[in-house]
């Protein structure tokens, strides 16, 4: 299973190249925000499935 931090920065646009260095705060924040949106969408879809 992938590390959640790695998934977060990749969602923010981090490519993980050898010469790329570590992800910056902007990349971390963008990934964090996108993951929160994805989780919220998944929860909403699960609630809608239960309502049908």
Question: How far are the Cα atoms of 1, 37, 38 from residue 12, in angstroms, in the given order?
Answer: 19, 12, 13
C-beta separation of 9 from 27 below 8 A: yes
CB atoms within 10 A of CB 32: 15
Q: What is the mean pLDDT of residues 4-14?
A: 88
CB atoms within 10 A of CB 26: 10
Q: What is the pLDDT of residues 26-48, one digit of tens each?
A: 999 999 999 999 999 999 999 99
DSSP letter for each residue of 15-48: ---GGG-S--HHHHHHHHHHHHHHHHHHHHHHHH
What pLDDT, on a 0 to 100 scale, did the predictor assign at position 2? 61
The model's pTM is: 0.74
Indicate whether 1 pLDDT > 70.
Answer: no
């Amino acid at each position: 299973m992938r590390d959640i931090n790695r998934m977060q920065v990749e969602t923010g646009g981090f490519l993980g190249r050898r010469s790329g260095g570590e992800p910056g705060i902007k990349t971390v924040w963008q990934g964090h925000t996108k993951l929160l949106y994805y989780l919220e969408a998944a929860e909403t879809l699960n609630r809608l499935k239960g309502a049908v």
